[in-house]
Chains A and B, each alone.
Chain A
């Protein structure tokens, strides 16, 4: 049979976002693949150059629609590096809490969408139900469920409310049981195992060469986790294991994310205990005025640092739910960044689509691309 190109996307149920996977098929067999992105490009990096430091936070929420707060912190860490500010310890712990809750909600929605891709409908709604509990937690301390605008240069906007830690512990107890249930649904299903084991193999060497990061890399038995290897925030004081799997296939990626969720629950518990014991401020005292509020009227500038604030480059990298995210901010002493560069893990993971897909069948595409966990908001920025 002759070969033909098929456009899977930009509007296609497999894509989970807006991108176009062009595949060349011979019958049902994939012989070539060419991903195309850019449909969600909003020029966030360019807009950053025209916004004051705190105004950029709003943009960062919109970068990724399932892990907004991860990008907030990424940007904040780079900005703090560029401006030379250290946040108080309690703020760092609240940030870690936010990261892990975000990882939970992101992985749960990944799980829900993934089983749906494979054709298993019921756990999709289980996942959405439980993710809502995590979003409720977010709502209780940031005021929003998706676009939080919670982090600030020099800390976080407000402390967690009274009774939050107990409420959060209850949700974690609930999730403990539900995570086991999720695993049972998939691991006891022969069809699920048939669909995922040995499918979409990307070995460690190839994955490193392709720049793959995150759960996809850890599923190839490479224990690289920025939280462990280059700890930021309060991660150095927190005890957790890096989840790895030696399958290098879709099943391995599923296992790694499942294990990561359990570790996230563990981290959240540690952070909650710490928060109960250590009250304190959540915002640094000496934050330069210009990053806090819109331009003050002339003559009212509180900090003389407003002019001639030290030039510098801020760099941060962190383990976002999808992989290694990096932000690079150049501060030229102005009110807004001279250049802000974001590295999205999904951008690179999609670029390697050819390596996952060739040799498999059309029916495997949702299973493989789903296991990569794409979020086009952050790939296109």
Chain B
């Protein structure tokens, strides 16, 4: 393990002596001590709440009378599958995820490929510029985009009108356009994924491209046969984080629609329904059911993604 031999590890027999064993024992104890903040935090704020959430989902727990908690069996779970608001919110969430995932996956790759191109001048400037919006606090970003997407005065529609589109969409007031509008807002959030992809691109060995050139591959072919496989682990990582993030999508639709999810419930996401149920209507038992439902979906999706990843994610190290 250590590069320089120390008195402790030079002699394997000495390791067995009582004194060495006690040093090892001591090191282990210190290890647990230094680890303890996370261990305590993991149990207090992650493990126990997950279990408690599951238990709550079988009760009518509410904070207004926490002492009178009683078990209601599967009622909450049955209610979930017969709650039109919840089902619609689930549909909205999944629909939006399908709409925005391609952008969330492809845009960082496109930007990173541009930033990695030998033909781009002023790389640090563009890298900074594309990353910068990621640093804008969500609340500021939402109000900035709300003004930008304003059907009448927003710059986007003014630009579209200049380009000859006489009646550009009323992005935020139309149930068909609010989804695409939020996808557009999402382009400000790809900074992290872009940087990670860029760093991976820079790590792809040049010899691979040289060899491909010798074999007669053009740039497009090299991109699909070399670049994409080499960065597939990063794409996979972005995919997992995007899916989990989309399951939790809340702040943007909540603030953008003033908590209503309108027009016509088209921006009423599952997490907004959860928030209203648990915190506005104080129905914590049903809220916990929805939370566990999302957790189950997340587990299933993660398992599916990991299982299919063997087919398309290429790990150079073979790990």
Q: Is chain B found bound to chain A in the same assembly?
A: no
Residue ranges of A at the interface with B (Cβ–Cβ < 8 Å): none
Residue ranges of B at the interface with A (Cβ–Cβ < 8 Å): none
